[in-house]
């Protein structure tokens, strides 16, 4: 039996080669693989970890490719052959089969070649997700507000900058929310994300919050505000009035020069002022996002940011590693430095892990991205009891998600399998096709 499989590894920055066609020929107790013009054999001893009858070609081929690249470059990846953005899903899947932490560790290490240190992270994340998992049968709601005051140089989230189109967008969004009021009435978890929701003019912002809060009774109501300069006193008062109980004030870094370089229009002192104001207004569940590997930052800059965020002690802190996106401004001239900074981002993450291990924060969700700095990952940390259910259930694909707005992704279960329906990212298309989109999304949930 011969199969041609396309094999992809996530560590393309590591090896400078990402995917390759591999021809795999199976015969009794031997697998023959043609890769990059050479023939390789996997013998019985290489297959010891597998149930021979059910060999997963992809895993074998990935291991082979990994070994070839590894030998060629002298490098290894702490994430082994893992591809995809959700390593904690794999952990959960293997746990379902073996029901034993030591067995999961053995498989992740021996089959997927993941390092012990990353398995430790996955194990902690798994333990800290238990409470949210008990809510897996709920429906969660996501609302997308794709507007920002300016475009950050690393970001490719769909965002329209400036206030053009906000009025027609909000009319359309309110129309589809009105159409699905019954969904809001069933949801207990809601997340308004972006973009930067707090960039909306106050009247639109209040109108939206008023509608959403009237339509349901939520125990987790997040507004991913984010950019400090958009979180005014009035916005905070509105969020409090309508029951929002989790917000983000995102520094990204505590270094003013970097903020200028990445196109953020706020300063470090804006971060402190906004955070203080939010506390005064009664928000006791605040998240802060940071990014490791930003342009020209060294270990000292990151140490400063981490030490500062730990001193402020928000309930949760999300650490991202810069992922270089093809269409971002940053990718126009940053590629070389980014590749070189691999080792540096690793050291930054080591600093983070050591610091957080000595703190009261635990790791509660994790995801990876393509072209992620230092071959690392993004980790959500929080003080016990402040795990964000939305982040966990969304990342683990455990819940139905009813999503509104341009670029939003709805997820429904059909025959036990998750199916997605994505609204167009382009605002004009979203607005013009709204009736058809509403109908198609409904089908996902019937």
Ligand X SMILES: C[S@@+](CC[C@H](N)C(=O)[O-])C[C@H]1O[C@@H](n2cnc3c(N)ncnc32)[C@H](O)[C@@H]1O
- Residues forming contacts to ligand SF4 in the complex (CB under 6 A) are 148, 151-152, 155, 157, 159, 194-196, 226-227
What distance, in Å, lies between the first and last C-alpha atoms of the chain? 41
Selection from 245, 254, 256 nearest residue 278 by Cα: 245
**Contacts for 170 with CB less than 8 Å, ≥ 6 apart:** 200, 204, 207, 208
CB of 393 to ligand SF4, least distance (A): 22
Q: Which of residues 241-260 bind ligand X (CB under 6 A)?
A: 250, 252
Phi, psi torsion values for 124, nearest 5 degrees? -65, -40
Which of 194, 216, 374, 407: binder of ligand X (CB under 6 A)? Answer: 194
Q: Closer CB to ligand SF4, residue 194 or residue 405?
A: 194
Provide the minimum distance between the beta carbon of 182 and ligand X in the complex, in angstroms, as a whole number: 28
Residue 322 contact, options ligand SF4, ligand X, none, Cβ 5-8 Å cut-off depending on partner type: ligand X
Residue 24 interaction partner, one of ligand SF4, ligand X, none, beta carbon < 5-8 Å per kind: none
Name the 3-class secondary structure at 122. helix
**C-beta separation of 373 from 323 below 8 A:** yes
Task: Tell me whether residue 418 is exposed, middle or buried, using C-beta atoms within 10 angstroms of its C-beta: 0 to 12, 13 to 18, 19 or more.
Answer: middle
> Which of the listed partners (ligand SF4, ligand X, none) does 320 bind, with a CB threshold of 5 to 8 Å by partner kind?
ligand X
Is 366 near ligand X (CB under 6 A)?
Answer: no
Closest to ligand X by CB, 278 vs 291, is 291
Query: What is d(CA 112, CA 110) in angstroms, rounded to the nearest whole number?
Result: 6
Number of residues that bind ligand X (CB under 6 A): 17
CA torsion through residues 294, 298, 301, 306, sign: positive
β-pairing verdict for 220-226 and 246-249: parallel
Nearest approach, Cβ of 270 to ligand SF4 (angstroms)?
Answer: 13
Residue 61 or 239 having the CB closest to ligand X: 239
Partner touching 151 among ligand X, ligand SF4, none, CB below 5 to 8 Å by kind: ligand SF4
Min separation Cβ 234 and ligand SF4, Å? 20
- Shortest approach of ligand X to residue 336 CB, angstroms? 17
User: CB 149 → ligand SF4: shortest distance, Å?
Assistant: 7
- Residue that is written with structure tokens 């009774």 in the block: 217
Q: Using only the alpha carbons of the chain, give its radius of gyration.
A: 23
The answer to whether residue 226 forms part of the interface with ligand X (CB under 6 A) is yes
- Check residue 85 for interaction with ligand X (CB under 6 A): no
227 binds ligand X (CB under 6 A): yes
Q: Could you tell me which residues are beta bridge partners of residue 7?
A: 20
Cβ closer to ligand X: 216 or 228? 228
Q: Does 157 bind ligand X (CB under 6 A)?
A: yes
- Least distance in angstroms from the C-beta of 57 to ligand SF4: 38
Is residue 405 a contact point for ligand X (CB under 6 A)?
no
Q: Is 443 exposed, middle or buried (0-12, 13-18, 19+ CB in 10 A)?
A: exposed
Taking the least distance from each CB to ligand SF4, the nearer of 194 and 412 is 194
DSSP conformation letters of 134-164 = TTTTSEEEEEEE-EESS--TT--S--EESST
Contact 330, 382 (CB under 8 A): no
Whose Cβ is closer to ligand X: residue 228's or residue 362's? 228
Query: Which residue among 101, 325, 347, 425 contacts ligand X (CB under 6 A)?
Result: 325
Site membership for ligand X, residue 291 (CB under 6 A): yes
Would you count residue 316 as binding ligand X (CB under 6 A)? Answer: no
Q: What tokens were used for 280? A: 């005064």
Which pair of tokens denotes residue 216?
């349901």
Please list, in sequence order, all residues whose beta carbon lies within 8 angstroms of the beta carbon of residue 54, skipping any fewer than 6 positions away: none
Nearer to ligand SF4, 77 or 153 (CB): 153
Residue with tokens 């930052």: 297
For ligand X, the closer of residues 105 and 320 by Cβ is 320
Contact 382, 362 (CB under 8 A): yes
Q: By CB under 6 A, name the binding residues for ligand X.
A: 154-155, 157, 194-196, 224, 226-227, 250, 252, 289, 291, 320, 322-323, 325
């Amino acid at each position: 039996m011969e199969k041609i499989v396309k094999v992809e590894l996530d560590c393309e920055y590591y090896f400078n080669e990402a995917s390759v066609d591999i021809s795999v020929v199976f015969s009794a107790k031997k697998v023959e693989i043609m890769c990059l013009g050479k023939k390789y054999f996997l013998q019985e001893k290489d297959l010891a970890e597998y149930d021979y009858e059910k060999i997963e070609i992809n895993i074998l081929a990935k291991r082979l490719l990994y070994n070839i690249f590894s030998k060629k470059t002298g490098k290894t990846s702490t994430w082994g052959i893992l591809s995809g953005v959700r390593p904690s899903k794999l952990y959960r899947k293997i746990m379902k089969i073996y029901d034993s932490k030591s067995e999961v560790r053995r498989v992740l290490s021996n089959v997927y070649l993941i390092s012990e240190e990353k398995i430790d992270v996955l194990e902690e994340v798994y333990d800290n997700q238990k409470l949210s998992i008990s809510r897996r049968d709920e429906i969660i709601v996501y609302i997308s507000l794709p507007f920002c005051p300016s475009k950050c140089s690393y970001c490719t989230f769909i965002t329209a900058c400036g206030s053009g189109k906000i009025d027609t967008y909000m009319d359309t969004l309110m129309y589809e929310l009105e159409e699905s009021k019954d969904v809001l009435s069933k949801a207990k978890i809601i997340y308004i994300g972006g973009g930067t929701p707090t960039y909306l003019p106050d009247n639109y912002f209040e109108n939206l919050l008023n509608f959403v809060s009237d339509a349901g009774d939520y125990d987790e109501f997040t507004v991913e505000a984010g950019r400090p300069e958009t979180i005014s006193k009035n916005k905070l008062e509105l969020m409090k009035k309508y029951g929002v109980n989790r917000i983000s004030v995102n520094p990204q870094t505590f270094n003013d020069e970097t903020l200028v370089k990445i196109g953020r229009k706020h300063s470090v002192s804006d971060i402190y002022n906004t955070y203080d104001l939010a506390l005064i207004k009664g928000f006791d569940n605040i998240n802060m996002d940071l990014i490791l590997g930003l342009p020209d930052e060294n270990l000292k800059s990151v140490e400063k940011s981490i030490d500062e965020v730990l001193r402020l002690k928000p309930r949760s802190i999300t650490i991202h590693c810069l992922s270089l996106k093809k269409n971002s401004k940053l990718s126009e001239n940053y590629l070389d430095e980014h590749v070189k900074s691999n080792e540096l981002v690793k050291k930054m993450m080591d600093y983070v892990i050591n610091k957080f291990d000595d703190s009261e924060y635990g790791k509660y969700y994790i995801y990876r991205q393509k072209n992620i700095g230092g071959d690392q990952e993004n980790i959500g940390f929080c003080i016990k009891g402040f795990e964000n259910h939305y982040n966990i259930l969304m990342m683990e694909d455990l819940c139905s998600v009813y999503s509104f707005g341009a670029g939003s992704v709805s997820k429904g279960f059909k025959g036990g399998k998750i199916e997605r329906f994505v609204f167009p990212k382009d605002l004009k298309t979203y607005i013009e096709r709204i009736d058809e989109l509403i109908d198609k999304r409904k089908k996902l949930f019937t």
